[in-house]
Structure 1
Amino acid sequence: MATIKDIAIKAGVSVTSVSRVLNRRGYLSEELINKVHQAMEELHYQPNEVARSLQKKESRIIGLILPDVSHPFFGELTRAIESYAFSRNYKLLLCNSQLDPLKEKDYLSMLKASQVDGIIMGSHTIDTEEYLHIAQPLVTIDRRISSRIPYVSSDNFEGGVLAAEKLIKKGCKQIAYIGGNVELDLLAKKRYEGFKKEIDHSKCKLHFFQTNINGFNYEEYEELAAGIFRECPEIDGIFASSDIIAAAILKEARRLNRGVPQDVKVIGYDNVQLSRIISPPLTTIGQPIKEIGEKAVDLIISQIRKERVTVETVLPVQLIERETT
């Protein structure tokens, strides 16, 4: 098996130069990088990542725990985090909790034992006390745990305000909100708070529908959509707390021959790629998904480097109007 010394001899450079290329340290010319990589390829050299991690006391791996990577928002967020982490010379270890507290706790224990360099938490089903005993750098998404743990979110309250303002401006009078459990300590519930504040200040009537706390169930969304039109046939405006829920609303409206936006106007939340291609294209509150992912990674790396970090990061949202309003 080839060694670093063999690579150095083959490339005609020093062992130190090979080490610098492998660890991406200091100034590296394109010529040096090409020589070393060509020698590695010819000698079929594979760096021992475990040994290097132990020696340097770092793994260059970030753990990511999400509730359901099949959900479009979390899928796009994962892509953003992985791509940016890779550009910063970090790999990603993905854990899918499926909103199971035992599974989330098990994954958290695994990440701590695996000595990942940091953990990004996007799943929040276990007690906050568990997070306070994590030695590694930690960043949470859409949840404020303590004054010591950094978090990243979009401006959920403003998102709710923008959605309400648009429906009111479009002349809606009977307006429904459909979203997750507002009793949970999640920043996403501020979407409802901002929305309700604006509706309460208008002459419109607000109808509230809550999804199940236990997961992202697409069949449940379809049942909820049917229930909205069945219980409140007078509804003429709907704000869904995710684009997936909004898609279920559009499907049910089509089944009932309710014209969108003629009979009922619909606004989603997230601006995932799906919102552009469904019919009709969905008006939505756009979260800066790419920026959320990149900021989470930056906060992890800053903590690894013992730099001071900002605990609260709230990124702006924008209303993206398409054909459903």
Structure 2
Amino acid sequence: MATIHDIAKLTGYSASTISRVLNNYPYVDEEKRAHVQAVMEELHYIPNSAARNLSSGKNRNIGVILPFVNHSYFDQVLNGITREAFLSNYKVTLLPTNYDPEVEETYLKQFAAKEFDGLIITSRANSIEQLLTYQKYGPIVFCEELKETEVSCVYINRKDSILEGLMHLKEQGFDRVGVTLGRSRNLSQNSKITVQLCHEVFPKFSKEDIFWDCCFYEDGFQAEKFFTKRGIEAVFCNGDDVAAGIIRANPNRNRQSIVGRDNLLTSELMQFSTIDHQLHLCGKTAFQQFIENKKEKISIPYTFIKRI
């Protein structure tokens, strides 16, 4: 197998010159660069990526912490991240946690060991205080609003979007509203906002009207059974897949009684209202924050899509 010294011998250049060509240093004579690259191709030379990473201090790999890899919400965020990462010649490593704090901590330790140049945390299992201690190892971008801390975050305006969705249901004349949420009764910031606004908009709302651990299409079937027993008239869903499952479980349900999230194709085909949080833009912006190493707080606009 050819080495850098073999290339140096054949070209007549020093090993340091060969190294500069390999690492794309700007101040290399173009004739020398072309000569070195031609010899590399002739010898079928494959650069040692580990050695190049060691010399540059970067491995061009970003880790993305997320709870699931088979969920439409995170799929859209990932789509935005991976497309933007491709443009910067970065690899994306998925780090699924299933909201297990110990699994998440394992990934954080890998980050501290320089396995990733940075992290994008789409949703977390550990406290923000614990996660912030890892900022000294490199850039971390959070996909949630963090007001009181000096961090890079790209977030969705959940309060306004959720309020608009709930007001839409109220305007249709519904006063018994149920909600689907995930996280096994763990009140995330998203869940807290949803529950608070439900109490404000619908005086008859009760925490007993929440169907928990609801994330996927299949969960929607069980949610509809639950809401039917409780006499719930309308449902504010935490995703279009869940909303589609509810409608499939009860085809006679009034489509105006459902509001989903994510603006998936199913919401258009099944004709129910939804909230487009521009998740692709959220992912794209998060990667841009990482690559530019900025600590800014960026709110992503949303659109409420009314279907009647």
Q: Same fold (TM over 0.5)?
A: yes
Deviations 1:206-247 (A, max 9, x none): 45533436x8465544222211012115x1x32112222212
Of the candidates 290, 293, 298, which is equivalent to residue 300 of structure 1? 290
Q: TM-score, normalised by structure 1?
A: 0.77
Deviation (angstroms), 1:33: 9.8
1:245 is matched with: 242
Deviations 1:39-72 (A, max 9, x none): 7555433222211111011121111111001111
**Does the aligned pair in 1 maintain the 2:215–2:238 contact within 8 Å?**
no
- Does residue 309 of structure 1 match 2:295? yes
Question: Could you tell me how far apart the structure 2 residues matched to 1:320 and 1:17 are?
Answer: 58
Question: Could you tell me how far apart the structure 2 residues matched to 1:180 and 1:91 are?
Answer: 30
Q: How does 1:101-250 map to 2 (within 5 A)?
A: 101-134=101-134, 135=136, 136-142=138-144, 144=146, 147-180=149-182, 184-187=187-190, 189-199=192-202, 205-206=204-205, 208=207, 209-212=209-212, 216=215, 219-232=218-231, 235=233, 237-250=234-247
What secondary structure does 1:124 align onto? coil
Deviation (angstroms), 1:103: 1.4
CA RMSD of aligned residues (A): 3.6
Amino acid across the alignment from 2:164: L
Q: TM-score, normalised by structure 2?
A: 0.81
Q: 1:25 to 1:80 in 2, by over 3 A?
A: farther
Count of aligned pairs between the two proteins: 303
Structure 2 runs not aligned, ≥5 long:
none
Deviation (angstroms), 1:295: 1.5
- Does residue 268 of structure 1 match 2:254? no
**Does the aligned pair in 1 maintain the 2:60–2:89 contact within 8 Å?**
yes
Question: Could you tell me how far apart the structure 2 residues matched to 1:36 and 1:275 are?
Answer: 56
**Does the aligned pair in 2 maintain the 1:150–1:299 contact within 8 Å?**
yes
Deviations 1:265-290 (A, max 9, x none): 211012234434xx514321001111
User: Percent identity of the aligned residues?
Assistant: 28
- Does residue 71 of structure 1 match 2:71? yes
Structure 1 runs not aligned, ≥5 long:
none
**Does the aligned pair in 2 maintain the 1:144–1:186 contact within 8 Å?**
no
Question: Could you tell me how far apart the structure 2 residues matched to 1:73 and 1:157 are?
Answer: 17
Question: Could you tell me how far apart the structure 1 residues matched to 2:131 and 2:45 are?
Answer: 40
Deviation (angstroms), 1:99: 1.6
Question: Could you tell me how far apart the structure 1 residues matched to 2:237 and 2:46 are?
Answer: 50
Deviation (angstroms), 1:173: 3.7
Question: Could you tell me how far apart the structure 2 residues matched to 1:39 and 1:2 are?
Answer: 10
What secondary structure does 1:267 align onto? strand
Q: 1:101 to 1:5 in 2, by over 3 A?
A: same
Deviations 1:167-212 (A, max 9, x none): 2333334333322468634245434444544445xxxx44553343
2:83 is matched with: 83
Amino acid across the alignment from 1:119: L
